[in-house]
């Protein structure tokens, strides 16, 4: 029985050390299987040890000693192999998960400001230097603010100038221009003097074309106080256009009509593309319109809370997308909301 024990022990250790590819014990699962088969509760060595009672009494102590030695040797061999397997697995996972720190990184796509936002911010900066604050008013408006208090009662023919998006709620519309903000600002600040710009989105139920969108930004300007004159409006517009387009560019006032200003003008710049010579963009006139403007109508001043005998004011409304089109020579306004990266990445 002692020989059998020695043989079992020798075979088990040899199996553990075997480098033969097929028999090699190189995973924890294979090692556990070996353990169960050799020294587990039903392992060959364990079963043999239980048969010690079959030996003659005098042989039992020697067998017992040898059995202990064998068991300890097998346990130690098991532990050593388990350590080797663990180290090999760690080395393998380090090798496979290795990071090549010399590899160039993946470029992160950087967002940027929309061209309309860039022009808007440019406009804010210029007017801020002239003492104008930014005032926001709602995009969803009432008929009163958008038309009536701007001197356009129901059925006034001038309403046709602004093709309107109506909502299912009576009297609630999408603002067609930023001018309703004039009334809101005046009512908030009256009787204080006012110097504001009112930027934001406007909506018109218009035929979409290269020059006209159904949604676009406007920047309204409003100055109210004692002795505000048309000269102040002209000086402000000249200063603004010089700062935006450069000192060499020419601006002109052309008489016009808006129900909420009297007198009313259109502000034109000499065409950036042909330098005033005449081209298809300026329809061979040499001029491009950038804003509507005028002196605030007495009725509008009164609707805002100011006495027109004491106070006067000027107002203007410009389209930043049209301005951006001139500055960057963009030929189609539809590009602004088309979400085409090939267009947006150019700014
Ligand atoms: C107005 O909207 C007046 N409220 C402007 C105003 C304000 C006049 C204060 C007097 C005093 P108008 O409809 O012309 O005016 O629009 C003003 C500017 O908005 C235009 O010069 C243009 O730059 C821009 N704009 C108008 N319609 C569109 C459109 N469909 N798409 C893009 N921009 C537009």
Task: State the distance from the centre of ligand 1 to the C-alpha of 246, rounded, in angstroms.
Answer: 23
From the number of C-beta atoms within 10 Å of its C-beta (0-12, 13-18, 19+), residue 241 rates as buried
For 104-108, the CB contacts below 8 A with 24+ separation are: none
Question: What is the C-alpha separation between 295 and 176, in angstroms, rounded?
Answer: 20
Select the more confidently predicted residue: 211 or 202. 202
- CA angle 30/35/38 to nearest 5° reads 125
Q: What digits encode the pLDDT tens for the residues 236-289?
A: 999 999 999 888 889 999 999 999 999 999 999 988 778 888 887 778 899 988
Please return the burial class of 268, using the count of CB atoms within 10 Å of its CB with bins 0-12, 13-18 and 19+.
Answer: buried
Closest CA to 45 of 32, 58, 34, 57: 34
Kindly tell me if the per-residue pLDDT of 204 is higher than 90: yes
Ligand 1, residue 293: give the atom nearest the CA: 10
Kindly write down the DSSP assignment for every residue of 314-325, as one continuous string. EEEEE-HHHHHH
pLDDT band of residue 64 (cuts 50, 70, 90) is: confident
Q: How far, in Å, CA of 338 to CA of 221, rounded? A: 28
Among left, alpha and beta (phi > 0; psi -120 to 50; other), residue 331 is alpha
Question: How far is the centre of ligand 1, averaged over its atoms, from the C-alpha of 176 (Å)?
Answer: 9
Closest residue to atom 10 of ligand 1, CA basis: 293
Q: Which two tokens stand for residue 21?
A: 């590819």
Contact by Cβ (8 Å): 322, 332: no
β-pairing, 312-318 vs 287-296, is antiparallel
Beta carbons of 151 and 296 less than 8 angstroms apart = no
User: Measuring CA to CA, which residue among 294, 311, 224 is closest to residue 260?
Assistant: 294
| CA nearest ligand 1 atom 29, residue | 212
Strands (E), the chain: 133-134, 140-142, 172-174, 194-203, 215-225, 251-258, 261-270, 287-296, 312-318
Q: Which residues have CB under 6 Å of ligand 1?
A: 177, 179, 204, 206, 212-213, 216, 218, 220, 258, 261, 289, 291-294, 315-319, 321-322, 333
211 confidence band (pLDDT: 50, 70, 90)? confident
What is the percent of the chain where pLDDT is above 70? 100
Ligand 1 midpoint to CA 344 (Å): 24
pLDDT, residue 223, reads 98
| Ligand 1 atom, smallest distance to 318 CA | 18
User: In the structure encoding, which two tokens stand for residue 252, read together?
Assistant: 């002109």
For residue 163, report the phi and psi dihedrals to the nearest 5 degrees: -70, 120
pTM score over 0.95 = no
DSSP per residue over 91-102, as a string?
HHHHHHT---TT
Question: What separation in Å is there between the alpha carbon of 93 and the centre of ligand 1?
Answer: 66
Q: Is 319 exposed, middle or buried (0-12, 13-18, 19+ CB in 10 A)?
A: buried
* Distance of CA 269 from the midpoint of ligand 1 (Å): 15
The average pLDDT across 110-122 equals 93
Average pLDDT of the chain to the nearest whole number? 91
Q: Which of 255, 291, 301, 334 to mutate to test the pocket of ligand 1 (most atoms within 8 A of CB)?
A: 291
Q: Residue 21: pLDDT above 80?
A: no
Please choose from 135, 177, 304 the residue to mutate so as to test ligand 1's pocket, defined by most ligand atoms within 8 A of CB.
177
Separation CA 183–CA 138 (nearest Å): 12
Residue with tokens 């006495």: 307
What pLDDT, on the 0 to 100 scale, is given for residue 169? 96
pLDDT band at 201 (very low <50, low <70, confident <90, very high): very high
Residue bearing the CA closest to ligand 1, atom 23:
319
172 pLDDT more than 90: yes
Closest CA to 173 of 205, 197, 199, 151: 205
């Amino acid at each position: 029985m002692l020989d059998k024990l020695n043989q079992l022990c020798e075979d088990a250790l040899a199996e553990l050390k075997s480098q033969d590819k097929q028999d090699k014990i190189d995973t924890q699962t294979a090692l556990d299987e070996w353990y169960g088969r050799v020294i587990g509760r039903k392992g060959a060595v364990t079963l043999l040890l239980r048969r010690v009672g079959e030996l003659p009494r005098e042989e039992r102590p020697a067998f017992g000693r040898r059995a202990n030695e064998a068991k300890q040797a097998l346990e130690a061999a098991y532990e050593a192999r388990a350590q080797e397997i663990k180290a090999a697995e760690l080395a393998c996972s380090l090798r496979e998960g290795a990071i090549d720190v010399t590899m160039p990184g993946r470029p992160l796509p950087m967002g940027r400001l929309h061209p309309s936002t860039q022009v808007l911010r440019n406009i804010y900066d210029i007017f801020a230097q002239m003492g104008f604050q930014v005032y926001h008013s709602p995009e969803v408006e009432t008929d009163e603010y958008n038309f009536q208090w701007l001197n356009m009662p129901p059925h006034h023919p001038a309403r046709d100038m602004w093709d309107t998006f109506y909502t299912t709620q009576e009297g609630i519309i999408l603002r067609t221009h930023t001018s309703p903000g004039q009334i809101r600002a005046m009512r908030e600040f009256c009787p204080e003097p006012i110097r504001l710009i009112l930027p934001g989105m406007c909506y018109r139920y218009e035929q979409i074309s290269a020059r006209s969108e159904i949604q676009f930004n406007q920047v309204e300007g409003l100055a109210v106080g004692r002795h505000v004159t048309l000269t102040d409006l002209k000086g402000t517009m000249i200063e603004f256009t010089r700062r935006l387009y450069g000192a060499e560019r020419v601006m002109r006032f052309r008489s016009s009509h808006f129900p909420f200003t009297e007198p009313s003008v259109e502000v034109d710049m000499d065409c950036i593309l042909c330098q005033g010579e005449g081209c298809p963009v300026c329809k061979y006139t040499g001029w491009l319109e950038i804003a509507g403007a005028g002196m605030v109508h007495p009725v509008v001043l009164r609707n805002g809370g100011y006495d027109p005998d004491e106070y006067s004011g000027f107002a203007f409304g410009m389209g930043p997308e049209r301005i951006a089109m001139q500055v960057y020579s963009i030929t189609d306004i539809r590009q602004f909301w088309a979400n085409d990266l090939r267009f947006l990445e150019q700014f």
